[in-house]
């Protein structure tokens, strides 16, 4: 058996752990030959690959990013000609299946290639933790750890100067990172995309805290918006396979500009950006990503093509890619953590 592996879309802590687990499981269990495709679908269309053997995936578990490189622009489904070229390349390499590790766009393309005759298995990845049928995505724990540390650090400046400190997290339209890191990092106010915030309420809390505690820490998800307002869009990018071309960013500055003239305290905003996506995965993410990779190898051996790895109620499973492509798992409004936050006096801006 000869299996191709690629990583598409943005990088994410744990990608190398998946590559390692897929490769070692396939070599160890069925003596498969594993081929790494470089820079996502770009490498598939341009015929760029390298062998993945036991030695080449050893020692990569701790490393962030992806040893294969990635791309979120290359789209074999851009035309019938490019789709045929990608499938023909896979045939020329003698691939029996392709394991595609990536986000929404990567999964949609995997599904499209499957329909054109290339057997595929998907491994979903994102720090945002917003994948349907995956209660925990690898990379999320690492991102939460990074944001938590940042919240702890800005607390020092907030306390010393008596300031309002705003920290903006990634997460797109889902508030998982902001919610969990906000709780772990002792934020006083947590603003999520799922709950439009009332700026007057945020102001009121900052004013109260100015009197009582001198400082306030606000953790805001990049997809948060004020009641009646819109998202803060930083830019639009080229995105393949129906992936979202909108890049959010800057909502912390927007809130700072609104709050500062209304308060006695100075207000500072920190946008963490890609710091949250970089670096070594946490032990939890290394284990989780290893499970995702191992499960992908099982799906290949069971010939469950067109399926994506899932995690529900702590168990690895799979689901047809087409059933989840394009769907997002956002924080439900009855999530127990929202309740707990409110009960310990953390404001959700509503």
Question: Which residues are identified as catalytic?
Answer: 128
Whichever of 247 and 315 has its CB closer to ligand F6P, that residue is: 247
Site for ligand F6P contains 171 (CB under 6 A): yes
Give min distance, CB of 162 to ligand F6P, in A: 31
Compute the distance between CA of residue 293 and CA of residue 291 in angstroms, rounded to an integer: 5
Q: How many CB atoms lie within 10 A of CB 28?
A: 11
User: First-to-last CA distance in the chain?
Assistant: 56
Whichever of 39 and 188 has its CB closer to ligand F6P, that residue is: 39
**DSSP letter for each residue of 9-39:** SS--TTHHHHHHHHHHHHHHHH--EEEEETT
Which DSSP symbol is given to 260? G
Of the candidates 6, 151, 170, 311, which one interacts with ligand F6P according to CB under 6 A?
A: 170
Site for ligand F6P contains 225 (CB under 6 A): no
If we measure between CA atoms, which residue out of 198, 199, 188, 180 comes closest to residue 154? 188
Whichever of 162 and 326 has its CB closer to ligand F6P, that residue is: 326
Stretch of 22-30, 47-55, 79-87, 126-134 lying at the interface with ligand F6P (CB under 6 A): 126-134
CB 179 within 8 A of CB 231: no
Tell me the per-residue interface mask from 195 to 224 with ligand F6P, x by CB under 6 A, - otherwise: ---------------------------x--
Contacts (Cβ under 8 Å, ≥6 apart) of 155: 165, 185, 186, 215, 217
Tell me the per-residue interface mask from 127 to 166 with ligand F6P, x by CB under 6 A, - otherwise: xx--------------------------------------
Give min distance, CB of 174 to ligand F6P, in A: 9
Give min distance, CB of 289 to ligand F6P, in A: 15
Q: Where are the alpha helices (DSSP H) in 9-122?
A: 15-30, 41-46, 80-92, 104-115
Site for ligand F6P contains 125 (CB under 6 A): no
2-31 residues near ligand F6P, rule: CB under 6 A:
10
245-264 residues near ligand F6P, rule: CB under 6 A:
247-248
Compute the distance between CA of residue 349 and CA of residue 228 in angstroms, rounded to an integer: 14
Q: To the nearest 10°, report the CA torsion of 1, 90, 103, 23.
A: 30
Give min distance, CB of 80 to ligand F6P, in A: 27
Planar angle of CA 173, 178, 183, nearest 5 degrees? 150
Give min distance, CB of 204 to ligand F6P, in A: 30
Stretch of 41-49, 92-100, 170-178, 315-323 lying at the interface with ligand F6P (CB under 6 A): 170-178
Enclosing H/E stretch for 155: helix 140-161
Compute the distance between CA of residue 298 and CA of residue 311 in angstroms, rounded to an integer: 14
Q: Which residue is nearest to ligand F6P (CB)?
A: 170
Q: Residues in the site for ligand F6P, rule: CB under 6 A?
A: 10, 126-128, 170-172, 222, 237, 247-248, 277
């Amino acid at each position: 058996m000869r299996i191709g592996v690629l990583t598409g879309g943005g990088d994410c802590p744990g990608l190398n752990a998946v590559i390692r687990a897929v490769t070692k499981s396939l070599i160890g269990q069925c003596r498969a030959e594993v081929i790494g495709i470089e820079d996502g679908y770009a490498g598939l269309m341009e015929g760029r690959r390298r062998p993945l053997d036991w030695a080449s995936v050893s020692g990569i578990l701790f490393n962030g990013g992806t040893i294969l490189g990635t791309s979120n622009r290359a789209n074999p489904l851009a035309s019938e000609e490019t789709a045929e070229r990608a499938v023909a390349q896979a045939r020329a390499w003698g691939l029996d299946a392709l394991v595609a590790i990536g986000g929404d766009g990567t999964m949609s393309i995997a599904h499209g290639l499957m329909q054109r005759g290339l057997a595929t298995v998907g491994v979903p990845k994102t720090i945002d933790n917003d994948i349907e049928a995956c209660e925990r995505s690898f990379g999320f724990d690492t991102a939460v750890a990074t944001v938590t540390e940042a919240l702890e650090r800005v607390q020092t400046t907030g306390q010393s100067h008596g300031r309002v400190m705003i920290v903006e997290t990634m997460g797109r339209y889902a508030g998982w990172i902001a919610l969990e890191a906000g709780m772990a990092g002792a934020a006083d106010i947590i603003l999520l995309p799922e709950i439009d915030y009332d700026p007057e309420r945020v102001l009121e809390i900052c004013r109260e805290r100015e009197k009582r505690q001198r400082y306030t820490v606000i953790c805001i998800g990049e997809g948060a918006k004020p009641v009646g307002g819109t998202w803060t869009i930083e830019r639009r990018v080229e995105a393949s396979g129906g992936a979202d071309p909108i890049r959010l960013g800057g909502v912390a500055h927007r809130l700072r500009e609104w709050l500062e003239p209304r308060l006695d305290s100075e207000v500072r905003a920190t946008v963490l950006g890609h710091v949250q996506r970089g670096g070594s995965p946490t032990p939890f993410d290394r284990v989780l990503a290893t499970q995702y990779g191992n499960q992908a190898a099982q799906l290949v051996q069971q010939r469950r093509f067109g399926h994506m790895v899932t995690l529900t109620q702590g168990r690895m499973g799979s689901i047809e890619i087409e059933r989840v492509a394009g769907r997002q798992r956002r924080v439900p409004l009855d999530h127990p953590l929202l309740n707990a936050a409110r009960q310990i006096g953390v404001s959700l801006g509503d």
